[in-house]
Structure 1
Amino acid sequence: MLRFLAIAFLLGGCSVVVEACCLPKQFECTAGLQNATFRGGKLDVSSTMFKHSVDLVNKKVAYVGQSFKIVQDYNKMMQYTINFGYCTVSKLTTPIHDCMPANATVTTSLLMGGPKGIMMDVYDIEKISPGQGLLFKGTFSLNQEGCVPFSQILKTEGSIATLAYVNMAFGIKDPSVFDVPSPPCPKDTDYLNLLQQKHAPSWPIPPPLP
């Protein structure tokens, strides 16, 4: 799965509890990802861009890049990863949420772009979904007006990723972005049958929006 991170803005101050921040119900954007991995004394840096579509009304998320497509269907709690002609199917383990949980805290707030810029709230990812066995640490930045995603910084052991959302547009222009092609994906979504499908190469993707 994709291991992302974003840009950390470390400003002084205490964490504060804020009113619930709820994401737009439907939006699309271009997501830019840079992933840095340090293994065996060597640093490997890769980057990619893809279309990111989120439909919280119908509980579906899609990531579409030049050579891959990932669809997360939270009605079936299934994820489909299509890459190089193969389809990997896996179970989603946590539901999708449209709002920050009541216990979420803002670690810092900052102004992007100068006096006429945009106020951002930066959340600690561990504090957004505590106790759910997350493998990621880092931050999630959203703009204060409208709770629009701006960036994520995700850390795992030996890797750090920066994810930025640009060219944001509200609504879903073409709902077929959530279609799962069959073939290569199976029509039968019974999990026992899906486990028998041939796996595609692993591909890093961001965790579902909190």
Structure 2
Amino acid sequence: MMRIVLAHVLVTMVMGEGCCPYDAWEGTLGLVTGTEQGGQSHLTLGALNLHVNSAKKIIVSEGEMDVDGYGFQLKAIQDYMKGTEYDIVNGKCTTKSIGPWKSRCIPDDAQIVQNTYIGAGSEKVAVKTYLYMEDGLQVYSTVTARDCVPIMSVQSGVTSKGVSTVTASEFSGITKGVKDPSIFNIPAICNPKNPLARYLDALRKRRSVDP
């Protein structure tokens, strides 16, 4: 069993220069999000393959999600050039508008709260943990010291809509570049003018009314 060893901790916060990960990369993401508002709480779990191309401002997430016990397969394409997110769930595509692209970089005004390493011996990797604010939420983000590759992050606080939230994310298997760029292509099913999309939509509607 691999053990994670943490050492050489720098407790005092210091201002640090930010850093940026690879322009294009992919890997796996595990996340847990809890939210609460007005006495209503929700729990979201995710195990996703993540593909990022910062130059083209597009992110694809695909894998398993679970929201309050309801599990489903998701493929989400966030195309910031078009300002549109395409969500494909159970064979049906929905779209919604998204805001401007957000930098994947650690900001220059982030505070370094920890210099340490993970692993042991010849395989240990130097990492840094930063603290900064993003959209009014507090973020602790741990990245590799050399290439700013994301390892884990915790984001918490209250959103502008009054929702209390905390998200813990863990990244693994990160590699530079995207092996199959076609992963960013918008599926035909997301184009309502496409004959296949019209056929599948009609088939779903027919099945929903059949006894």
TM-score class, shorter-chain normalisation, is 0.5 to 0.7
Q: Secondary structure at the match of 1:49?
A: strand
TM-score normalised by length of structure 2: 0.68
The answer on whether the counterparts of 2:48 and 2:61 sit within 8 Å (CA) in structure 1 is: yes
Q: Which runs of 5+ in 2 are unaligned?
A: 1-8, 65-72, 158-162, 195-211
Q: Match of 1:197? A: none
Please say which structure displays the higher CA radius of gyration: 2
After TM superposition, give the deviation of residue 94 of structure 1 in Å: 2.9
- 1:78–1:44 distance in 2 versus 1, CA, 3 Å: closer
How many Å separate the matches in 2 of 1:53 and 1:124? 25
For residues 20-63 of structure 1, the C-alpha deviation after alignment (integer angstroms, 9 at most, x for no partner) is 41211211101112234568989875533110001123221110
Aligned-residue RMSD, C-alpha: 3.0
Q: Match of 1:73? A: 79
The answer on whether the counterparts of 1:74 and 1:96 sit within 8 Å (CA) in structure 2 is: no
The answer on whether the counterparts of 2:26 and 2:177 sit within 8 Å (CA) in structure 1 is: yes
Greater share of residues in strand = 2
- Pairing partner for 2:130 from 123, 128, 132: 123
TM-score normalised by length of structure 1: 0.68
Work out whether 1:97 is the aligned partner of 2:96.
Answer: no
After TM superposition, give the deviation of residue 98 of structure 1 in Å: 4.8
Query: Aligned pairs, how many?
Result: 172
The answer on whether the counterparts of 2:19 and 2:108 sit within 8 Å (CA) in structure 1 is: no
How many Å separate the matches in 2 of 1:150 and 1:170? 14
The answer on whether the counterparts of 1:80 and 1:185 sit within 8 Å (CA) in structure 2 is: no
Query: Counterpart of 1:28 in structure 2: which amino acid?
Result: E
Q: Match of 2:151? A: 150
How many Å separate the matches in 1 of 2:132 and 2:85? 22
How many Å separate the matches in 2 of 1:54 and 1:187? 28
Q: Secondary structure at the match of 1:176?
A: helix
The answer on whether the counterparts of 1:63 and 1:71 sit within 8 Å (CA) in structure 2 is: yes
Q: Secondary structure at the match of 1:183?
A: helix
Q: Match of 1:112? A: 118
- 1:158–1:98 distance in 2 versus 1, CA, 3 Å: closer
- 1:44–1:71 distance in 2 versus 1, CA, 3 Å: closer
Query: Counterpart of 2:78 in structure 1: which amino acid?
Result: Q
Q: Match of 1:31? A: 29
Greater share of residues in helix = 2
After TM superposition, give the deviation of residue 83 of structure 1 in Å: 1.7
Q: Secondary structure at the match of 2:183?
A: helix
- Pairing partner for 1:170 from 154, 166, 176: 176
- 1:100–1:159 distance in 2 versus 1, CA, 3 Å: closer
The answer on whether the counterparts of 1:60 and 1:73 sit within 8 Å (CA) in structure 2 is: yes
The answer on whether the counterparts of 2:86 and 2:190 sit within 8 Å (CA) in structure 1 is: no
For residues 125-161 of structure 1, the C-alpha deviation after alignment (integer angstroms, 9 at most, x for no partner) is 40xx4xxxx2533312111111111111122444432
Q: Secondary structure at the match of 1:103?
A: coil
For residues 44-103 of structure 1, the C-alpha deviation after alignment (integer angstroms, 9 at most, x for no partner) is 755331100011232211101141111111222222222233333233323232533332
